[in-house]
Structure 1
Amino acid sequence: MKSINGIQFADMIKMGAHHLFQNADYVDALNVFPVPDGDTGTNMNLSMTSGAKETAAHTVEHVGKTAQALSKGLLMGARGNSGVILSQLFRGFGKSVEQFDTLNTKQFAQALNYGVETAYKAVMKPVEGTILTVAKDSANKAVEVSETEEDIRILMAAVVEEAIQSLNRTPDLLPVLKEVGVVDSGGQGLVYVYEGFLASLKGEALPEKTVSSSMDDLVNAEHHKNVQGFMETVDIEFGFCTEFMVRFEEGKKLFDETDFRNDLSAYGDSLLVISDEEIAKIHIHSETPGEVLSYGQQYGDLIKIKIDNMRQQHTDIVGEGFSKEAPVKKEVAHPYAVVTVAMGKGVVELLKSLGASAVIEGGQTMNPSTEDIVKAIQSVHAERVLILPNNKNIVMAAEQAVEVLGIEAAVVPTKTIPQGMAAILAFNSQATVEENKKNMTNAFAHVKTGQITFAVRDTSIDGVEIKKDDFMAIAEGKIIFSNPSLQVGAHKLAQSIIHEDAEIVTIIYGEDVTEEEAKNLASFIEEQYEDVEVEVYNGKQPLYPYILSVE
């Protein structure tokens, strides 16, 4: 096989996307940090699926045009840093081959290499031992082999072999991987894509996923009981589609499926529970997903957590306030808008009260795609836009959104909710976009962020021994403490991030924390630091009982 055309390349994409889809849960499980946001596999899968759908819809014999379709689909569907890097790899690939009808080994190898160059340029501070390294090593191998090899199947086999070897070397390049004993999750996802490519070229079938899909079939059936176009967004009583699995543990509450189902029914509707001797898989629509997860923790370790905001999904499908009799509104262009990202009704309301024009519901466990961000920005009809991601895993997708918007826009690279709050307060409607970006960035640089969340596994990070279900204190992105007590963890976190020049401490408490508990934490801080003013807000955010801001 000396060359491939667009139809053959489209089949490679289809196989690569399918193989990644089959193994997305495993890629998620490789996340090194014990916080409940191991979503690399989910992000890469959703990104690649978007690329594959666009490719399937625009497949032609001209390989360059097929590659452009892949690039477009990946660009708009990219979620999280891993998804954005994947989109950049194939964006460069597509640019390299756009003029070619077919690809030979040298052209294919050069395209892989150009994709790597494009991805490295897109990342401000490239880190070796990640998907970038796996992509780079395998592309270099492709260039080397293409000098003497004309069979693309042999070339692709060499790419896969080198990608696997490079993946196995990632713990030697990134100490945290070696400490936890895993390979890089993004690199593993890329290996699955490349394995799919090779299987397509060789005409071989890849092993199917062994986990039963019966729950997925039931969930799909449950979701389709209501026809989305004939209901209003405000009519959705339970707004968060919550899915997770419980791995049973000795010493925890004994699982009885009937009791479990009856208890969970109090938290929402559309409840489905499937279990065997070792594990239970749960689907429920709830207003309080954090409480659902806390209930599940009584029986064992939580894995494969997925929370979707169905009101946002419904709005995307039919439009906010959809009604067959609703009058058509004439949209008025606004001169300026601030668009941000957050989880939790209270946090959303807080950001809007500070001046956010629109808040995309998302963050940990559910990173919005480039297209999600673009749609949110378009919905505010502004001439100039500033985007605040409030999460390090959303910054790159936001930057890609800026590229495709066609209006004056910039990303203020906030990585936490407290940073986002400080940035919004520094916004000046009379300043230029660049002036605002500079001033807002300077404003959040002086804010310290602390978070409390629960551990999803036993591990050791930076010398901190962590037990699953413990509460972890995270100061400025670094895990500093782990303890079974939420109160102890919160006190330790406060003492770690409140400095002598601190003037204001803001406590944002989540849906699993009572108002009394939050006030007790505020009292502790006021007693310890007499000159500090403490503000308390009910953020209603899932997964993170406390978010602290220190200014």
Structure 2
Amino acid sequence: MKSINGNQFADMVKMGAHHLFQNADYVDALNVFPVPDGDTGTNMNLSMTSGAKETAAHTSEHIGKTAQALSKGLLMGARGNSGVILSQLFRGFGKSIEQYATLDAKQFAQALQYGVETAYKAVMKPVEGTILTVAKDSAKKAVEVSETVTDIPELMAAVVEEAKQSLNRTPDLLPVLKEVGVVDSGGQGLVFVYEGFLASLKGEELPEKTVSNSMDDLVSAEHHKSVQGFMDTADIEFGFCTEFMVRFEEGKKSFDENDFRNDLSAYGDSLLVISDDEIAKIHIHSETPGEVLTYGQQYGDLIKIKIENMRQQHTEIVGEGHSAEAAVKKTEVHPYAVVTVAMGTGVAELLRSLGASAVIEGGQTMNPSTEDIVKAIESVGAERVLILPNNKNIVMAAEQAAEVLGIEAAVVPTKTIPQGMAAILAFNAQASVEENKKNMTAAFSHVKTGQVTFAVRDTSIDGVEIKKDDFMSLAEGKIILSQPSRVEAATKLANELIDNDSEIVTVIYGEDVSEEEAGKFAAYIEEQFEDVEVELYNGKQPLYPYILSVE
């Protein structure tokens, strides 16, 4: 097989996504820290599934066009750092081959290499021993092999073999992997994708179990639970989710994406426009979908039209008794907004009380996708926005969202809830976006974060022996001790974080902690540290019984 076309590549994508889907739990289990939020497999699976869904919907015999569909699907479905990096790998891949109808072995190898270069540029501080390394090593091998090999399945076999070897080397590059005895989870996810590619090229079946639920059903359910939760059914202002594509035609109105987006914004909200030289993809919530379609016809033929009644859909998905408090609460429209992420209704209320315009439900175990973040911001309707991820695994998805929004936006790279709280308090509605980003970043840099969670397996890390179901104390993300007692883990964490310079300690207790227990813990801090002011909040967050903010 000396070349592949778009149809063949679409099948490769389908097999790669399916193989990753089958093994997502295994990838999750490779998470280094034994915390109950190891979700690399889940993030990569949902990201790749989104890409595969878009590819299947827009497959072309022209491989460049098929690759563009994969790129768009991955971009909007990207979740977590691993999902964003995966999307960047195939964004570069697709960009490099957009003019090709078919690919030969050398062009395929060069596309893999270009994808790696794109992904490295997208990461502020690339870390070796991760998915980036596996992608880089396997692409380098592809380029080398393509000098003498013209058979694409043979080339892909060499890519898979090198990816596996590179994956096995990741513990030598990241000491923490070697200490725990695992390979990098993101790298493993990429290996599964590449194995699926190879199986497709060779016409082989992969030896996994048959899954009754389709990947489309899975990603659709996750998407709608988060998106439909933005508001109560009665609050939906624009009731029809309208999606369509315009295939441009000569003789019709010349297409300019900015003008098109500005004109269409008058018909509703939640507008997304993605275009290339031949097609524009549109998503909008509108009360007059017919008028939207009529407007689109000025530019060419309408294809892939889908109109859904969101009021009916919302009721079916979240139930009549749903409250927007359970997911994202839409607040009044502001010209300037702070949009943040949190798990736990109490934490969300706390962030809103400090000044957040909208709170996206997410964080541990459920990283919101790029699209989720975009839609949450659009639900606020702000002209300028600052995005606070409050989780290191959401920062990259937030940055991608900021790029595609079409409004002035910046990410304040908060990695914890305490950092997010400090950043919100430093927000100044009179300052520019860049000034706010600078001041808010400076504000959260002075906050120390402590967390108590439970171990999901026996392990040893950073010299700490950890037993399954014990409670671990994390100071600034580092595991400092493990205790059978939750209260003991919390008190020792407080002793570690609080010093003579500390003035305010905020204790946020989770859904499994009683008010009495939390009160006793707060009293302990007040007794031990007389000059410290203690604030106590019921965050109702899962997985983390205690979150401490020390300033």
Give the TM-score taking structure 1 as reference length.
0.80
Residue of structure 2 equivalent to 1:264: none
- 1:376 is paired with a residue of what secondary structure? helix
Mark the CA change 1:332 to 1:176 in structure 2 (over 3 Å): closer, same or farther: closer
- Give 1:316 shift: 12
8 Å Cα contact 1:11-1:200 kept in structure 2? yes
Per the TM alignment, residue 533 of structure 1 is displaced from its structure 2 partner at its CA by 0.3
Partner residue in 2 for 1:518: 518
For 1:92, the equivalent position in structure 2 comes to 92
Task: Report the CA distance between 1:125 and its aligned residue.
Answer: 1.1
Classify the secondary structure of the residue corresponding to 1:178: helix
Residue type at the aligned position of 2:18? H
* SS of 1:401 mapped into structure 2: helix
The SS at the match of 2:360 is strand
1:334 and 1:488 map into 2 onto residues whose CA distance is 44
Paired residue for 1:435? Answer: 435
Pair 1:123–1:337, CA change in 2 (3 A): same
Residue matched to 2:83 = 83
Cα distance per residue 1:237-264 (max 9 Å; x no partner): xxxxxxxxxxxxxxxxxxxxxxxxxxxx
- What whole-Å deviation, never above 9, does each CA across 1:127-180 have from its counterpart, x for those lacking one? 111111100000000000011111111100100000011111111111111111
Amino acid at match of 2:424: I
Equivalent residue for 2:503? 503
Alpha carbons of 1:316 and 1:386: their partners in 2 closer, same or farther (altered >3 Å)?
farther
Q: Distance in 1 between matches of 2:315 and 2:43?
A: 21
Amino acid at match of 2:104: N
Structure 1 residue 527: deviation in Å?
A: 1.2
Structure 1 counterpart of 2:529: 529
Q: Which residue of 2 aligns with 1:242?
A: none
Once the two structures are TM-superposed, the CA of residue 94 in structure 1 deviates from its matched residue by: 0.6
Indicate yes or no: 2:164 matched with 1:161: no
Is structure 2 residue 407 aligned with structure 1 residue 407? yes
Instruction: Map residues 278-317 of structure 1 onto 2, 5 A cutoff.
Output: 314=314
Unmatched tracts of structure 1, length 5 or more: 236-310, 324-330
Instruction: After TM superposition, give the deviation of residue 213 of structure 1 in Å.
Output: 7.7
Contact 1:2–1:105 (CA under 8 A) maintained in structure 2: yes
1:33 and 1:212, CA in 2 relative to 1: closer, same or farther beyond 3 A? farther
Q: How does 1:91-130 map to 2 (within 5 A)?
A: 91-130=91-130
**Segments of 4+ moved more than 6 angstroms:** 210-214, 315-323
Superimposed CA distance per residue, residues 375-415 of structure 1 (whole angstroms, 9 cap, x where no aligned partner) = 00000000000000000000000000011100000000000
2: CA distance between counterparts of 1:93 and 1:51? 13
Residue matched to 2:445:
445
1:503-548: CA deviations, max 9, x gaps?
A: 0000000011111111111111111111100000000111110000
CA distance in 1, matches of 2:123, 2:166: 20
* Residue equivalent to 1:363: 363
Does the CA-based 8 Å contact 1:23-1:209 persist in structure 2? no
Give runs of aligned pairs for residues 381-392 of structure 1, distance below 5 A: 381-392=381-392
Tell me the equivalent position of 2:351: 351
> How much has 1:315 moved relative to structure 2?
8.5
Shift of 1:322: 10
What is the distance in 1 between the residues matched to 2:466 and 2:494?
19
Q: Secondary structure at the match of 1:535?
A: strand
- Rounded to whole Å, the distance in 2 between the matches of 1:533 and 1:349 is 21
Report what 2:473 is aligned to: 473
1: CA distance, partners of 2:121 / 2:450: 31
What residue identity is the alignment partner of 2:144? E
The share of aligned pairs that are identical, in percent, is 86
Q: 1:208 offset after TM fit, Å?
A: 2.0
Instruction: Assess, with a 3 A threshold, how the Cα gap between structure 1 residues 321 and 91 changes in structure 2: closer, same or farther.
Output: farther
Partner of 2:545: 545
Normalising by structure 2, we get a TM-score of: 0.80
Please tell me the residue identity of whatever aligns with 1:98: E
Structure 2 segments unaligned to the other structure (5+ residues): 236-310, 324-330
Distance 1:347 1:338, change over 3 A: same
Look up the match of 1:269: none
Q: Quick one: structure 1 residues 498 and 410, their matched pair in 2 at CA, closer, same or farther if it must change by over 3 Å?
A: same
Offset at 1:333?
A: 5.6
Q: Does 1:142 align with 2:142?
A: yes
- What SS does the aligned partner of 1:206 have? coil
Partner SS state of residue 16, structure 2: helix
In structure 1, the partner of 2:419 is 419
Instruction: Provide the C-alpha distance between the structure 2 equivalents of 1:125 and 1:418, rounded to a whole number of angstroms.
Output: 23
Q: Is the 8 A contact 1:333 1:383 kept in 2?
A: no
Q: CA deviation at 1:195?
A: 0.5
Letter in 2 for 1:500: N
| Distance in 1 between residues matched to 2:540 and 2:29, nearest whole Å | 27
1:155 aligned counterpart, secondary structure: helix
2:483 paired residue number: 483
How many residue pairs get aligned? The number is 460
Q: 2: distance between equivalents of 1:16 and 1:333?
A: 42
Change (3 A) 1:31 1:99: same
